[in-house]
């Protein structure tokens, strides 16, 4: 996901790394919310939707975001130190709420547009998916990594981000939503006539659901997958037609012969791999296998790590293959 920092100069002036230190992650959210006049629990919800509050040791996500708040620009300290990262994210979010007066800033419902802009998504419906996920977390509350927020259901002001009418194109899988990748990120084909489909490849996004959708819609990404699945409820977005070759495997032969399924989350954190996600993905995999006559075994349903010649390790050690295959 690209965080398009429109007010970059103001962003860096607001967030000196040396002033951002806090003793705990909870303190960091308290301080950042107060400093930048952002609803504290909304800030926590945004971070949880992005990373489950895990900064991953300052390593970038697949789409180039850093830290708990997944910022894309900033100093090394802001990228690697949790406290500085939260302060930077709060400054960025606050910069997108410039039209709110002091009273309106207290109401999380008024922050929907700012949260949508924080996504950096070029397409408005994808930005809305991102904001909806944040407000769903806000409604449920957060209890993770020493940070707590109470459940707080609000009716956000979606002005300008109203849910669009469904796209006319039908999906290959009836349970999916169609939200296409950039045409620069896959190859038009005529499978299985041109190439047989005999593999299904399981991936983990190393980022958020909406962030991954946004990334695949960026024509500079040079990557895509046929499907992306959300952690919280198993929602499925189709981004590339199965007849076309998504660029997901890192191996041209496997791109020709496979369907790629991305799963929201990080390979180092099992909390992303919910039962809803497993069941939804397994139903999709079963449907694909039935339609193309793919055997439902671990020779033909594989992880990205098993693709020859790649350096990827997903879906990683916390992916429960036994559970997944039992559902398939």
Task: Give tens-digit pLDDT for 234-250.
Answer: 999 999 999 999 999 99
Is the bond into 40 cis (omega within 30 degrees of 0)?
A: no
The 10s digit of each residue's pLDDT in 297-314 is: 999 999 999 999 999 999
Whether 226 and 129 share a structural domain: no
- Residue 129 predicted with pLDDT over 80: yes
DSSP secondary-structure letter at 108? Answer: G
Number of domains in the chain: 2
Residue 116 confidence (pLDDT) above 70: yes
Q: Mean pLDDT over residues 4-12, rounded?
A: 42
Q: What is the pLDDT of residue 170?
A: 80
Q: How confident is the model at residue 251 (pLDDT cuts 50, 70, 90)?
A: very high
Residue 145 sits in the same domain as residue 184: no
Q: What is the pLDDT of residue 161?
A: 84
The answer to whether residue 16 scores a pLDDT higher than 90 is no
Which of the residues 50, 163, 242, 262 is marked catalytic? 262
Whether residue 186 is found in the same domain as residue 280: yes
Residue 17 has pLDDT above 70, yes or no: no
In a domain, 24, yes or no: yes
Residue 3 has pLDDT above 60, yes or no: no
| Residue 171 lies inside a defined structural domain of this protein | no
Condensed to tens digits (0 to 9), the pLDDT of residues 254-282 reads: 999 999 999 999 999 999 999 999 999 99
For the stretch 209-231, what's the b/e string if a residue is b when 16 or more beta carbons lie within 10 angstroms of its beta carbon? bbbbbbbbbbeebebbbbbbbbb
Q: Are residues 196 and 306 in the same domain?
A: yes
Do the domain assignments include residue 162? no
Q: What angle do CA 38, 269, 328 make, to 5 degrees?
A: 120
Q: Assess if residue 71 is contained within a domain.
A: yes
110 lies in the same domain as 190: no
In what helix (H) or strand (E) does residue 25 lie, and over which residues does it extend?
helix 25-36
Domain limit, last residue, from 99, 133, 149: 149
- 117 within domain boundaries: yes
Domain that holds residue 206: 176-327
Quick one: 190 and 99 in the same domain?
no
Whether 103 sits among the annotated catalytic residues: the reply is no
pLDDT in tens, 23-72: 799 999 999 999 999 999 999 999 999 999 999 999 999 989 999 999 99
Instruction: Note whether residue 2 is domain-resident.
Output: no
Question: Which pTM does this prediction carry?
Answer: 0.90
Q: Name the domain boundary from 114, 149, 184.
A: 149
In a domain, 227, yes or no: yes
pLDDT at 240: 98
Tell me what the mean pLDDT of segment 287-294 comes to: 98
pLDDT the model gives residue 175:
87
Q: Distance between CA 125 and CA 237 in Å, rounded?
A: 12
CB atoms within 10 A of CB 127: 24
Same domain (yes/no): 123, 233: no
- What does the pLDDT read at residue 6? 37
The residue assigned the tokens 């419906």 is: 125
Q: What is the CATH number of the domain that holds 199?
A: 3.40.80.10
Does residue 155 form part of some domain? no
pLDDT (tens digit per residue) in 175-203: 899 999 999 999 999 999 999 999 999 99
How much is the mean pLDDT over the chain?
Answer: 92
């Amino acid at each position: 996901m690209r965080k398009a920092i429109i007010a970059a100069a103001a962003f860096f002036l607001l967030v000196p790394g040396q002033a951002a230190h806090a003793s705990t992650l909870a303190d960091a959210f308290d301080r950042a919310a107060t400093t930048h006049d952002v609803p504290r629990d909304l800030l926590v919800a945004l971070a949880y939707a992005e990373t489950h509050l895990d900064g991953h040791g300052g390593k970038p996500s697949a789409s180039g975001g850093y830290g708990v708040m997944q910022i894309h620009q900033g100093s090394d300290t802001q990228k690697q130190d949790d406290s500085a990262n939260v302060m930077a994210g709060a400054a960025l979010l606050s910069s997108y709420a410039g039209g709110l007066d002091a009273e309106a800033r207290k109401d999380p419902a008024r922050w929907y547009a700012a949260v949508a802009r924080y996504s950096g998504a070029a397409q408005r419906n994808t930005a809305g998916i991102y904001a909806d996920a944040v407000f769903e977390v806000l409604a449920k509350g957060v209890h993770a990594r020493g940070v707590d927020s109470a459940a707080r259901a609000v009716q956000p002001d979606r002005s300008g981000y109203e849910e669009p009418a469904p796209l006319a194109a039908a999906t290959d899988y009836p349970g999916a939503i169609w939200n296409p990748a950039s045409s620069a990120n896959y190859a038009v084909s005529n499978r299985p006539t041109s190439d047989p489909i005999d593999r299904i490849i399981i991936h983990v996004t190393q980022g958020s659901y909406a962030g991954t959708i946004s990334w695949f819609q960026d024509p500079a990404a040079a990557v895509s997958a046929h499907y992306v699945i959300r952690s919280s409820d198993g929602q499925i977005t189709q981004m590339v037609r199965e007849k076309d070759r998504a660029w997901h495997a890192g191996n041209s032969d496997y791109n020709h012969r496979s369907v790629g399924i991305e799963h929201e989350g990080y390979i180092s954190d099992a909390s992303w791999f919910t039962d809803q996600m497993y069941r939804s993905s397994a139903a999709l995999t079963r449907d694909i296998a039935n339609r193309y006559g793919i055997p439902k075994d671990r020779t033909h349903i594989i992880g990205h790590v098993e693709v020859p010649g790649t350096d990827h390790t997903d879906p990683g050690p916390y992916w429960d293959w036994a559970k997944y295959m039992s559902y398939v």
